[in-house]
Amino acid sequence: MKNKKIREIVKRKNKKPIVCLTAYSKTIAEILDKYCDIVLVGDSLGMVLYGMKSTRRVTLDMMINHAKGVKKGISKSILVIDMPYRTYRNKKEAYKNAKKIIKSTKCDALKLEGGKKIINIIKYLVNKNIPVMGHIGLLPQSERGKFKFKGRSSFERKRIIEDSRLLSNAGVFAIVIECVEENLAKIISKSTPVPTIGIGASKYCDGQILVTDDLLGLSNFTPRFVRKYSNIKKIIDKSVLRFSHDVINKNFPSRKNIY
Ligand code: KIV
């Protein structure tokens, strides 16, 4: 693998936990870059920023545009970009779109959702020297209905363990495990040679990721796996209320704000 930063991340397996968060803009990326090992431009932006019902209508152009902004805010972290739904249905399509994302954003790696079903596509990209991050467990692009944690039945558990095995054999440099039962996450993390990054997948993973808007309290989404570190929504609400009062009462602009 050519990318030094990615080689360093692989070495962090069972060592210092890996810190990952999502960013959709330069402003947020600049802050995350100080503290994160990996910054992900997730296709969650469809739901979080655009109010879509799922991530399925996110386009390649949306991802590229946001990623270009994020890249400007990053100097040290690894920049990973999600390949959106229906942009990697076969090897040819995946390679063409992967090259387009990398060329226009200068990102370090791409993330694709799925295991066995897309394993030949992942192998193909890795063989073309494209660093790939896997994503197993709950797969938002494939879910129809409410998001529920995975690993309830032994069939499902076996399938997810098999997915992790296939992905690491295919050469992914890390695997996101989303919303799986704690013991299953522990088994996968122990048996997988590459770092596992959990979201709702217990402390046994080698790193953790959250959607930044969720931890800031900016989104309305608070599943049990999210810890809210602030309530930015309240702060914005108060600021906008004060601005509206100032405008109505002619307290803004003041002498300081005019030319
Ligand atoms: O789209 C996204 O933000 C993600 C993370 C939640 C892992 O895939």
**Alpha carbons 184 and 150: distance in angstroms, whole number:** 9
Ligand 1: which residue has its CA nearest to atom 4? 42
Q: Which of 113, 156, 178, 182 is catalytic?
A: 178
> Shortest CA distance to 163 belongs to which of 144, 198, 138?
138
Q: Helices 91-105 & 119-127, crossing angle to 10 degrees?
A: 50
Distance 134 CA to ligand 1 centre (A): 11
93: Cβ contacts below 8 Å, ≥ 6 apart: 87
Residue 159's contacts (CB-CB under 8 Å, 6 or more residues apart) are 115, 116
Backbone angle region of 129, left / alpha / beta, with phi > 0 → left and psi within -120 to 50 → alpha: left
Structure tokens at 237: 């609400």
Please tell me the distance from the alpha carbon of residue 94 to that of residue 123, in angstroms, as a whole number: 11
Closest atom of ligand 1 to CA, residue 22: 3
Distance 44 CA to ligand 1 centre (A): 6
CB atoms within 10 A of CB 50: 12
pLDDT band at 205 (very low <50, low <70, confident <90, very high): very high
Ligand 1: residues with CB < 6 A are: 22, 40, 42-44, 82, 176, 199, 209, 211
User: Given a cut of 90, is residue 128 above it in pLDDT?
Assistant: yes
pLDDT at residue 181, rounded to an integer = 94
| pLDDT confidence of residue 146 | 82
Name residue 220's beta-bridge partners: none
- pLDDT at residue 55 tops 80: yes
Instruction: Measure the CA–CA gap between 198 and 177, rounded to whole angstroms.
Output: 5
Residue range 209-254, pLDDT digits in tens: 999 999 999 998 889 999 999 999 999 999 999 999 999 999 999 9
The residue-averaged pLDDT of 194-198 equals 98
Q: Give me the pLDDT at residue 1, please.
A: 64
CA of 142 to the centre of ligand 1 (A): 13
pLDDT score at 148: 86
Q: How far apart are CA 99 and CA 105, in angstroms?
A: 10
Average pLDDT, the chain: 96
| Residue whose structure tokens are 């790939």 | 132
**pLDDT at residue 7 greater than cutoff 70:** yes
Q: How far apart are CA 104 and CA 63, in angstroms?
A: 11
Fill in the DSSP letter of residue 257.
Answer: G
Count of CA atoms in the C-beta half-sphere (13 A) of 161? 15
Quote the distance between the C-alpha of residue 58 and its chain's center. 14
